[in-house]
Amino acid sequence: MIKIAVVMDPIEKINPVKDSSFAMMLEAQRRGYEIHYITANHLYCKHGTAYAKSQAIEVHDSTTQWFKLAPENHIPLNQFQLILMRKDPPFDMEYIMDTYILEQAMSATTHVINKPQALRDANEKFFTETFPECTPENLISRDPSLLKEAVMTLGDAIVKPMDGMGGDSIFKTHKKDKNLNVILETVTQNGTKTTMIQKFIPAISQGDKRILMINGKPVPYALARIPSAEDFRGNLAKGGTGQGLALSESDYKICEIVGPKLKAMGIVFAGIDVIGEYLTEVNVTSPTCIRELDKLYNLNIAGELFDCIEQDIL
């Protein structure tokens, strides 16, 4: 029997209808895995060995009572064949410490997905710089004068913090915006936080496409997150609506460029974001949209993921 641990945010706070970690747990249970649930604050290291306060878990595809936990135990992480790191950002020093503990657990018989080193190396905003042929014009800096100069050059632009998720603290601005200075002061925290200026892509009105990648290969359908009438952001957490789409020729070209790098780094499960013909983010920490795409297209994306893991990794 495969023994698996899922490191995630508190399970009692998830939306089981939409949560991708929960989809993975349901599939693991269907396959007869022994599943353990761990929150990041329960990871620890003792004299060179990585441990966790863990609880065996039983999951149910329900919106009311979707989990049942066994009593808590202290378990060396090297007792698991597979550990899924599914904690949401913020990507801060505590997150990095978590990756150090998980890396300490890795061995020929204990696999962590995605690899801790890859999680540290592939900042979800900055990692797009690896693929400049796919990305819109941008500038990354903490210097407000440089960022302002980029907005003057680009015209309509997006201002993004480098460590956010779900559309938090993202602004749309332009070179004549009298709020530009205060936007840059706010997002950079007065020149102390690295920030991205990215050219605004009008095709966002047709949706910000989330494409899921398994071991460098795309799922053939994307979830286009379409902004509401009151917002420019497509994020579902900000009122966007999801619409399924088959991947376009342009989408596949981007996947062919990004996929080999993901695979080489040990990023087995990722979600890339595409607006129009541009790659805008590469999500590696806890990509979502499994449940939505499964429902729309009668897929089993978690099943495809575990097929890959069983064949190529375990």
Q: Please confirm, yes or no, whether 179 is among the known catalytic residues.
A: no
288: helix, coil or strand?
coil
Beta bridge partners of 269: 214
Catalytic residue among 160, 199, 209, 291: 160
Phi-psi region at 196: left, alpha or beta (left = phi > 0; alpha = psi -120 to 50): beta
Catalytic residue among 87, 115, 209, 210: 210
Catalytic residue among 19, 124, 251, 273: 273
Catalytic residue among 87, 233, 251, 304: 233
Taken as a whole, the chain contains a residue count of 314
Catalytic residue among 27, 208, 281, 294: 281
Q: Are 34 and 2 in contact (CB under 8 A)?
A: yes
Catalytic residue among 27, 283, 292, 304: 283
Q: Please confirm, yes or no, whether 235 is among the known catalytic residues.
A: no
Q: Please confirm, yes or no, whether 176 is among the known catalytic residues.
A: no
Gap between the Cα atoms of 222 and 63, Å rounded? 25
Q: Please confirm, yes or no, whether 273 is among the known catalytic residues.
A: yes
Phi-psi region at 134: left, alpha or beta (left = phi > 0; alpha = psi -120 to 50): alpha
Gap between the Cα atoms of 150 and 251, Å rounded? 27
- For 155-203, the DSSP string reads SSEEEEESS--TTTT-EEE-TT-TTHHHHHHHHHTTTTS-EEEEE--GG
Catalytic residue among 87, 115, 209, 225: 225
Q: Rounded to the nearest 10 degrees, how much is the dihedral formed by the CA atoms of 15, 126, 248, 213?
A: -50
Catalytic residue among 87, 115, 125, 199: 125
Gap between the Cα atoms of 167 and 97, Å rounded? 25
Gap between the Cα atoms of 294 and 303, Å rounded? 10
Q: Please confirm, yes or no, whether 86 is among the known catalytic residues.
A: no
Q: Please confirm, yes or no, whether 181 is among the known catalytic residues.
A: no
Q: Please confirm, yes or no, whether 27 is among the known catalytic residues.
A: no
Give which of 12, 22, 103, 100 is closest to 61, Cα–Cα: 22
Q: Please confirm, yes or no, whether 160 is among the known catalytic residues.
A: yes
Interior CA angle at 184 toward 178 and 187, to 5°?
135
Structure-token match 């993202």, residue found: 170
Indicate which residues carry an active-site annotation: 125, 160, 210, 225, 233, 273, 281, 283
